[in-house]
Structure 1
Amino acid sequence: MTDRPLPRRILTVCLGNYCRSPFAAAVLSVRGGGALEVRSAGLLDLWVGGTAHPSMIAAAADRGYDLSGHTPARVDRHLIDRADLVLAMDRSVLEELRAVGGAANERKLRLYLGDRDVPDPMGKPASAFAECAAIIESGADPYLP
């Protein structure tokens, strides 16, 4: 337990903002009950302007979350500066965020699961998206009010 207040603005980041980070943002936003402002973004711009991955939309819906309106966005320094906490889905994303965010933002960057990566379901069957969603949902509690 910590004496620090929970962050109000959270940014979740994965590689493309296509699977993991949009789902993490949805979980935190819904379970935060309005106490958290949550955004998501990705390091790459491959899917910017599109939608979340269809298999992640389905996995989210199976768990009671709606990703149908998600539009992938690319992370930038402004998004990192604005956040109280930036949660990377894996170590490689965390390293890239350090470069984008600079030393001034180092204290707010961390892995979503604390000491392990959220597995990337891209290129895998729908069951991998469902497993990824379960992992993300189970890791949300430390960030909730």
Structure 2
Amino acid sequence: MFNKILVVCVGNICRSPAAEAKLRQLAPASVQIASAGIQALVDHPADPQAQEEARKDGLDLSAHRARQLTDAMCQAHDLILVMEERHIESVCQISPSARGKVMLLGRWSNQQEVADPYRKEASHFTTAHQLISAFSDQWKSKMNW
């Protein structure tokens, strides 16, 4: 079982904070879950639209602050979940030893990606959050949480 999970997207203000919060809601307290960005908007809060979608799902992103992904973070986690296929290579460029533990959040849905809703219409945030929620539920099932 994975005890330390890291969720990664680009800016760490839309998708990965939502996935972090959703997985934290679903996982046992013993599982540590964090998030970071490949090109993080360091110390920025979660996007207001991402916060709104999360609120609808009973999640609170108000305390979130974006963090830059580092090699040390990758090494400290057992599983790294990313939103898009191209993020796998980006993570591995930052941390070559992470290669075997980086997977798509949508792995159990035919490797489906979660498109970046940043600076797009509200409907893109809704779709992204729906996918994040569904994919997180699939991970819960696979992990037997």
**TM-score for the superposition, normalised by structure 2:** 0.91
1: distance between equivalents of 2:123 and 2:139? Answer: 26
Q: Residue by residue, what CA displacement relative to the aligned partner does 1:46-103 show, whole Å, maximum 9, x if unpaired?
A: x21120000000000011100011000000001000000000110121110111111x
The letter for the 1-side match of 2:55 is: A
Higher alpha-carbon deviation: 52-61 or 135-144: 135-144
Alpha-carbon RMSD: 1.1
Q: Which runs of 5+ in 1 are unaligned?
A: 1-5
Q: Tell me which residue corresponds to 1:10.
A: 5
Q: Does 1:22 align with 2:25?
A: no
Q: Tell me which residue corresponds to 1:34.
A: 29
Q: Is the 1:28–1:36 contact (alpha carbons within 8 Å) kept by the matching residues of 2?
A: no
Q: Which runs of 5+ in 2 are unaligned?
A: none
TM-superposed deviation, 1:35: 3.2
Q: How many residues align?
A: 138
Of the three residues 60, 63, 66, the one matched with 1:69 is: 63
TM-superposed deviation, 1:33: 3.4
**TM-score for the superposition, normalised by structure 1:** 0.91
Of all paired residues, the percent bearing the same amino acid is: 30
Moved over 3 A (4+): none
Q: Is the 1:111–1:117 contact (alpha carbons within 8 Å) kept by the matching residues of 2?
A: yes
1: distance between equivalents of 2:17 and 2:126? Answer: 14
